Chains A and B, each alone.
Chain A
Amino acid sequence: MSAPTAAPEPLAETEDTAVHVPNRRNVELGLLALALIIGMFAYANVDLAVLGDLPPNFLAVGAVFIVLLGGAHLAVRYLAPYADPFLLPAAALLNLLGLAMIHRLDLADEQRAARQEIGTPSPDVVPQLTWTALALALFVAILFFVHDHRRLQKYTYTAMVLGVLLLLSPLIPGLGTTVNGANLWIRLGPLSFQPSELAKIMLTIFFAGYLVVTRDSLALVRRKVLGLGIPRGRDLGPILVAWGVSMAVLVFQRDLGTALMFFGLFVVLLYVSTQRRSWLVIGAILFVVGAILGYFAFGHVRLRVEVWLDTWTYASDQGYQIAQSLFGLANGGMLGTGWGQGYPQFVPFAKTDFITAALGEELGVTGLMAILTVYGIIIERGLRTAIAVRDPFGKLLAVGFATVIGLQLFVVIGGVTRLIPLTGLTTPFLSYGGSALVANWMMIALLMRISDRARRPLPDGTIDPTGGLG
């Protein structure tokens, strides 16, 4: 044993620096204020362009958001003081932009109703605002009740049961409702609800908890082919089950997007937990097999692909939506038409699936790129959290949440811009729809809880004097 070399002075300094770990809550507050200003700017701009006047309730709406976002920020200060400072403002900005666009499309609906002399439709922005308040309340509740994300690991199999039940619940007769050909809603009295959105949180918890335990055997390699380790035959079970469930979702619920998202999430987590590239290859092969089977077996999948490849043949019927979306994006061009000055209402379902097309038309490529960068920031912070946190369950959970948001975004925006066949998922935080908004805010809350763990200085004093050394 070598003699201790530490002098007492640096150690004293060490303890001093440990006290001053920056938590950057003020950065969060500043960015949150900027996000609020941008959101209110958008709101004012919509009314100025469409109605020619400032909205009468402008200050009241501003006050509501100051209370909501300020409340969330204060909750983070007390409940998760070391949490990542960028997640909350980025998610809040997207949420506000979504509300502004939904309001803008409400105005377009009202004007159309007035022209056709039918009753004014009730604005969709009001329920969406209520859902935003509820989602932020749940955000605070999760930070309050989940002190330590590692406790969620105990509920690995509970989460699996809940997740699968939620995913399959639209199939229960009397509960499920078919909306626009996809069977992914349940109706409880007056509330309709999209359970796959909550299922993605449950299944991420399950995948993370399950893979933490089983990754060692799944990482085993029997032989190498072309530089890739081939896993043992019996370890193929889990990925085949995940593939089968995804195919079941595709067959029975006709929901291509959800199927793709869950299978992609499982493959990514399998790869991250085992560090074996062969799982990515096996996942890709299974995906291709599933896609080919889906194409030949199911008319709705084949139709989606044909519309994707040959949009203009179908531009007046099945491809109307995607064609209008492309016209809108072209009309927007580089700088957009400006809030309230395009025609995003021509795209069917502009408030839900096609909200990015509406934003692309009115804000242009310039605005859409800014929005995509904000998503990129959320995903980057999620992955950064995964790197920083030290427990393997937290790592997988953070990677899982970032992956879900990233995959969902790719599937939606790829569909809207005709990069890939249209699948129909909501755009996180932007789209109209309460269950999606609530689920996405819950994911942000859990990511912030994990990042609080990762960035918090250790409670037991960070370093011991080396006096007893040797």
Chain B
Amino acid sequence: MVELVLFVIFALAAVFGAVTTVWARNPVYSALGLMLTLFSVAVFYVSNGAHLVAAVQVIVYAGAVMTLFLFVVMLVGVDRAENRKENLPVQRPLALGLLVLFGGAVLVAGRFAWVTGPSGGRAREGTAEALGNELFRRWVLPFELTALLLIIAAAGTIALGMFRPGEEGGEEDEGEAA
């Protein structure tokens, strides 16, 4: 019962946050809406016994990623008016079409019984220990590859940011950095 009440409250909050993210004219309110959604999802994790994932969700997304978003928004200038001209004339009809498709998918998906893993749930399933064992024993290769991918992305971003095309001496610097 408690779980149901929590679910209803935070599901509404999550949807409200998501709508705000897209709808708000002011980027700061968009960021706040996204944060509300992230929090609501963290609550779902907690109610499913995945405390570790919930904590990580709040630390990484609400704590670090959203703070960076806000930082960038404020650095670029919060009060700058948004250019509301649409560059892609087809995007509204396209969005409507996608919405219809998505609704259909939800309706179809709702008619299937899904495989949901062992019911009842063991108490230790969501603990750091259980997750660590899975992550660093069974899935260690995908885990490390993902880490590598992120490093490459970060290094690539720095390279792109530091060396603009057509700049004097850019290539030499790049050679040194590599």
A and B interact: no
